[in-house]
């Protein structure tokens, strides 16, 4: 299962839904992964964090997850997804298209609360919390 940026941020903020879902996942045999795109998105906002302990906690969480890259196949799928959504007039952020491309290519489910955007993508498996 690929953890979306919003799930990781919610988990770091100890939001109840994310915390409960993380406990559920701990008790399962599900492999927990994230993407290099999510690392990019998280690090865009990390400069706002002045607390060294929160930065340490963020690094610990991210290093505990498997990491998937935006490889050539994923990038091609992401480009197709993004183009299709633009043509339909229902565009999402480029980063979300890249995350979706990785999920589709790797045949992984995306754990997100951003169902509104990701549900626009045919063939993407989504789970929420």
Contacts 24+ apart (CB under 8 A), 42-46: 42/5, 42/8, 42/9
Hey, how many other C-beta atoms are within 10 angstroms of the C-beta on 72? Answer: 9
Residue 24: the pLDDT is 95
Instruction: Give the start-end residues of each E strand in 1-129.
Output: 2-3, 33-35, 66-68, 110-111, 126-127
Taking domain 2-127, whether its CATH number is 3.40.640.10 is answered by no
Residue 50: the pLDDT is 75
The pTM is what?
Answer: 0.94
User: Residues 37-62: pLDDT tens digits?
Assistant: 999 999 988 776 778 888 899 999 99
Please tell me which residue, 44 or 68, carries the higher pLDDT value: 68
């Amino acid at each position: 299962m690929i953890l979306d940026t919003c799930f990781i941020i919610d988990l770091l903020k100890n939001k109840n839904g994310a915390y409960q879902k993380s406990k559920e996942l701990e008790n399962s045999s599900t492999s927990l992964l994230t993407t290099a795109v999510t690392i990019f998105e998280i690090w865009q906002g990390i400069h706002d964090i002045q607390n060294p302990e929160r930065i340490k906690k963020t690094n610990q969480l991210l290093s505990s997850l498997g990491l998937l890259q935006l490889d050539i196949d994923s990038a091609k799928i992401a480009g197709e997804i993004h183009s299709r959504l633009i043509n339909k007039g229902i565009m999402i952020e480029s980063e979300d298209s890249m995350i979706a491309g990785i999920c589709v290519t790797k045949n992984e489910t995306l754990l997100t609360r951003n169902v509104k955007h990701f549900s626009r993508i045919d063939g993407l498996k989504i789970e929420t919390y």
